[in-house]
């Protein structure tokens, strides 16, 4: 089992679910109540004898009341919950109540049904406290009344139908199960509060708000966890007569963690902020280098603009693009004046992220030969989440050796005038289908009539084999070709598994790739370039091992949920039994 940050995040995705429509939940509630009524009638129980166990009265009505009243009560404290979630929780609570209430029937002990009904209400109150605490607000004083709605109504009808004895049992049950919920939450929150100073239920509230409403409140938690860092990376500027400057860059920051939070939309936001034409490759970074909020992307853009405003040495020549191999790593490299652009891949071997230390080592070593090094991780072969590539590992050394070979070889290559063309094409596919907002981008560079095609999909990796299929097609018409993805995580709302080409097969999006390349060819014009090394200071990222630490604490806490819950509920039952015995 891989214990890296990407796999840890993938494990957390198993905890995520979407609520169905409230209409479906309400329909099921009505059907459940009706089914109980019908079964009791079929069992030969007369309606006059059925009142104490009426499916509609003690099961359906309290659940419907809770479904529609929980939302307004929650909003009184400044929080929110959708009707879909409110109805789903009410439905689940109703199912738990029914199962516990009628469990004695399986043992032919019908005399205990009323006792088990009271016990079920205590357990449901406990569960509603926990669920609303996770989804709505971790401050229990804000969700106490909303959590009581369903069991309070059911208890009221139970009292009317069963009398004082029922009340004598159900009231202490609520009291002790309420205390049990508080104790359970206190135990659950201790590890994260001690390790990170954060409330896991508060984190869950912010996460659910993001999943349900698109809220960015989760970024406040990320900022508390974050560390300011300085990252170094290269950038290339291209200018053509009468056109805006085009920027090609590969910031060593990670576009994560998911959805629209943190730096997940980094490629799009950076492209928009840089103005003009821009091609943002994935740099060397893991989830530890996720910007804590979208606003941090502006810090990256400012750092790139600072380089653009300095005195630049423009060059109108470039080498041919050459491919070099070391171990499992292949790099396609091309020099533009005193700057080298290197794109690395291990395809068809599976690769996810390469840590920043590997990239920084390559950049610094490359400066033996070139003034500036632009290093991109093409992020283009995926079928399952592998561990990240670490400095000092065999694969990490392959990256370093391949890049060093490219630098050492290209420094002696002749450079020639060149032309460059660029295009960006939107595609009719959604985030859920693996495509980000930038669609597909193409850059075509021609040196001495030899053409190199660079394709970048705004997505999180390529499904294994897609890169080879595309290269084989384009190598019939050009000298070299490489296909990359931006690693945008806007396509990962709940999971890290959503590569380009997985849900949408290549034949469906190939026409858009062809159109993007043709448009880039039409955009071709003689160009000159200037390189720069960006020192991006004080960008706040998650910090070293924070994601792994957070995911480890959460998954560890989930592992103790059932044992702790069982112990606490048994204690609540025993306490209630003692009180019941003393009162009776």
What value, to the nearest 5°, has the Cα angle with vertex 360 and ends 391 and 261?
A: 90
Neighbours of 31 (CB within 10 A): 11
**Percentage of the chain lying above the pLDDT 70 cut:** 83
Question: Stretch 24-40: mean pLDDT, rounded?
Answer: 84
d(CA 34, CA 55): 7
- The answer to whether 201 and 190 have CB atoms below 8 angstroms apart is no
What is the per-residue pLDDT for 48?
Answer: 44
Answer yes or no: do 479 and 555 share one domain: no
d(CA 302, CA 539): 11
29: in domain: yes
Distances (CA, A) of 461 to 467, 473, 500: 10, 19, 6
566: in domain: yes
Assign 580 a pLDDT band (cuts: 50, 70, 90): low
What is the per-residue pLDDT for 238?
Answer: 96
Site of tokens 């209400």: 121
Q: Over 50: is that where the pLDDT of 46 sits? A: no
**Which is more confident, 177 or 471?**
471
d(CA 79, CA 81): 7
Count of positions (residues) in the chain: 584
Top mean-pLDDT range of 3-17, 85-99, 452-466, 534-548? 452-466
5: in domain: no
Q: How many distinct structural domains can be found in the chain?
A: 2
Answer yes or no: do 300 and 442 share one domain: yes
Contacts with 301 (C-beta within 8 Å, 6 or more apart), sequence order: 270, 273, 274
Model pLDDT for residues 361-406, shown as the tens digit of each residue = 999 999 999 999 999 999 999 988 888 999 999 999 999 999 999 9
Q: Over 80: is that where the pLDDT of 95 sits? A: yes
**Which is more confident, 173 or 285?**
285
What is the per-residue pLDDT for 17?
Answer: 60
**Which is more confident, 199 or 339?**
339
Q: Over 70: is that where the pLDDT of 555 sits? A: no
Answer yes or no: do 368 and 470 share one domain: yes
Answer yes or no: do 319 and 409 share one domain: yes
What is the per-residue pLDDT for 50?
Answer: 40
| Radius of gyration for the chain, computed over Cα atoms and rounded to the nearest angstrom | 30
Answer yes or no: do 555 and 530 share one domain: no
Q: Which residues of 198-208 are buried (b: 16+ CB within 10 A; e: fewer)?
A: bbbbbbbbbbb
Tokens for 85, please give them: 């979630």
Tokens for 139, please give them: 């401050």
Model pLDDT for residues 479-520, shown as the tens digit of each residue = 999 999 999 999 987 666 899 999 999 999 999 999 999 999
Question: Stretch 314-333: mean pLDDT, rounded?
Answer: 97
| Mean confidence (pLDDT) of the chain | 86
Residue 293's Cα: distance from chain center in Å?
13
Q: Over 60: is that where the pLDDT of 2 sits? A: no
What value, to the nearest 5°, has the Cα angle with vertex 451 and ends 450 and 454?
A: 150
What is the per-residue pLDDT for 102?
Answer: 80
Tokens for 193, please give them: 């509060």
Model pLDDT for residues 301-321, shown as the tens digit of each residue = 999 999 888 889 999 999 999
What is the per-residue pLDDT for 507?
Answer: 96
Nearest C-alpha neighbor of 322 from the set 346, 340, 349, 348: 340
Answer yes or no: do 569 and 510 share one domain: no
Answer yes or no: do 471 and 526 share one domain: yes
Nearest C-alpha neighbor of 69 from the set 93, 56, 95, 87: 87
Contacts with 374 (C-beta within 8 Å, 6 or more apart), sequence order: 233, 234, 235, 236, 248, 249, 250, 339, 340, 341, 342, 531
435: in domain: yes
What is the per-residue pLDDT for 1?
Answer: 33
d(CA 401, CA 344): 11
DSSP structure class, residue 498: -
What is the per-residue pLDDT for 559?
Answer: 60
What is the Cβ-side half-sphere exposure of residue 159, based on CA atoms within 13 angstroms?
Answer: 12
**Percentage of the chain lying above the pLDDT 90 cut:** 55
13: in domain: no
Print the domain residue range for 139. 21-212+551-583
Answer yes or no: do 237 and 184 share one domain: no
Nearest C-alpha neighbor of 342 from the set 366, 358, 318, 364: 366
What is the per-residue pLDDT for 260?
Answer: 81
Answer yes or no: do 519 and 560 share one domain: no
What is the Cβ-side half-sphere exposure of residue 151, based on CA atoms within 13 angstroms?
Answer: 31
d(CA 549, CA 559): 15
Assign 190 a pLDDT band (cuts: 50, 70, 90): confident
Answer yes or no: do 453 and 368 share one domain: yes
Contacts with 299 (C-beta within 8 Å, 6 or more apart), sequence order: 536, 538, 539
218: in domain: no
Answer yes or no: do 491 and 407 share one domain: yes
Q: Over 70: is that where the pLDDT of 187 sits? A: yes
Model pLDDT for residues 225-246, shown as the tens digit of each residue = 788 999 999 999 999 988 889 9
d(CA 251, CA 263): 12
Tokens for 336, please give them: 């533009």
Site of tokens 């810090």: 299
222: in domain: no
- The answer to whether 184 and 568 have CB atoms below 8 angstroms apart is yes
Tokens for 12, please give them: 């957390």
Range from 76-80, 137-141, 171-175, 573-577 carrying the lowest mean pLDDT? 573-577
3: in domain: no
Range from 20-24, 119-123, 166-170 carrying the lowest mean pLDDT? 166-170
Answer yes or no: do 374 and 231 share one domain: yes
């Amino acid at each position: 089992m891989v214990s890296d940050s990407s796999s840890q995040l993938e494990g957390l995705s198993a905890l995520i679910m979407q609520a169905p429509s409230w209409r479906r939940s309400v329909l099921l509630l009505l059907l459940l109540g009706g089914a109980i009524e019908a079964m009791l009638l079929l069992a030969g129980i007369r309606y006059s004898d059925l009142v104490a166990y009426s499916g509609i009265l003690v099961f359906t009505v309290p659940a419907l009341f809770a479904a529609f009243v929980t939302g307004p009560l929650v909003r009184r404290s400044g929080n929110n919950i959708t009707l879909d979630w409110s109805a789903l929780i009410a439905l689940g609570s109703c199912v738990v109540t029914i199962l516990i209430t009628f469990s004695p029937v399986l043992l032919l002990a019908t005399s205990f049904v009323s006792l088990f009904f009271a016990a079920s209400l205590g357990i449901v109150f406990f569960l509603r406290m926990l669920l609303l605490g996770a989804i709505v607000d971790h401050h229990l004083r804000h969700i106490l009344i909303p959590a009581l709605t369903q069991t309070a109504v059911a208890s009221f009808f139970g009292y009317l139908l069963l009398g004082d004895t029922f009340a004598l049992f159900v009231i202490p049950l609520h009291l002790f199960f309420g205390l049990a919920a508080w104790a359970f939450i206190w135990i659950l929150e201790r590890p994260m509060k001690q390790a990170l100073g954060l409330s896991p239920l508060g984190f869950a509230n912010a996460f659910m708000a993001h999943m349900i409403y698109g809220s960015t409140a989760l970024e406040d938690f990320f900022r508390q966890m974050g560390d300011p860092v300085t990252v170094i990376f290269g950038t290339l500027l291209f200018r053509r007569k009468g056109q805006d400057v085009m920027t090609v860059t590969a910031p060593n920051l990670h576009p994560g963690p998911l959805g629209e939070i943190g730096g997940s939309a980094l490629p799009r936001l950076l492209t928009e902020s840089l103005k003009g034409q821009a091609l943002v490759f994935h740099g060397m970074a893991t989830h530890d280098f996720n910007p804590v909020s979208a606003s941090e992307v502006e810090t990256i853009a400012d750092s790139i603009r600072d380089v653009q405003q300095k005195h630049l040495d423009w060059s109108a020549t470039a080498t041919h693009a050459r491919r070099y191999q070391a171990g499992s790593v292949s790099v396609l490299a091309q020099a533009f004046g005193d700057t080298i652009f290197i794109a690395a891949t291990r395809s068809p071997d599976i690769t996810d992220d390469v840590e920043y230390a590997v990239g920084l080592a390559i950049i610094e070593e490359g400066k033996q030969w070139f003034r500036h090094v632009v290093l991109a991780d093409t992020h283009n072969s995926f079928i399952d989440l592998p561990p990240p590539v670490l400095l000092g590992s065999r694969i990490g050394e392959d990256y370093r050796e391949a890049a060093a070979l490219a630098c050492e070889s290209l420094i002696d290559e002749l450079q020639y005038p060149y032309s460059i063309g660029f295009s960006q094409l939107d595609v009719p596919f959604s985030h859920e289908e693996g495509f980000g907002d930038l669609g597909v981008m193409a850059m075509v560079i021609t040196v001495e009539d030899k053409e190199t095609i660079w394709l970048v999909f705004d997505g999180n990796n390529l499904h294994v084999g897609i890169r080879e299929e595309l290269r084989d097609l384009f190598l019939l018409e050009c000298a070299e070709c490489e296909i990359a993805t931006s690693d945008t995580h806007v396509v990962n709302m709940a999971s890290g598994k959503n590569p380009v080409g997985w849900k949408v097969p290549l034949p469906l999006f190939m026409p858009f790739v062809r159109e993007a390349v043709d448009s880039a060819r039409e955009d071709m014009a003689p160009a000159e370039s200037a390189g720069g090394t960006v020192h991006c200071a004080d960008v706040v990222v998650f910090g070293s091992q924070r994601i792994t630490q957070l995911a480890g604490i959460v998954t560890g806490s989930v592992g103790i949920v059932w044992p702790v819950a069982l112990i606490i509920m048994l204690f609540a039952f025993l306490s209630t039994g003692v009180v019941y015995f003393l009162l009776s």
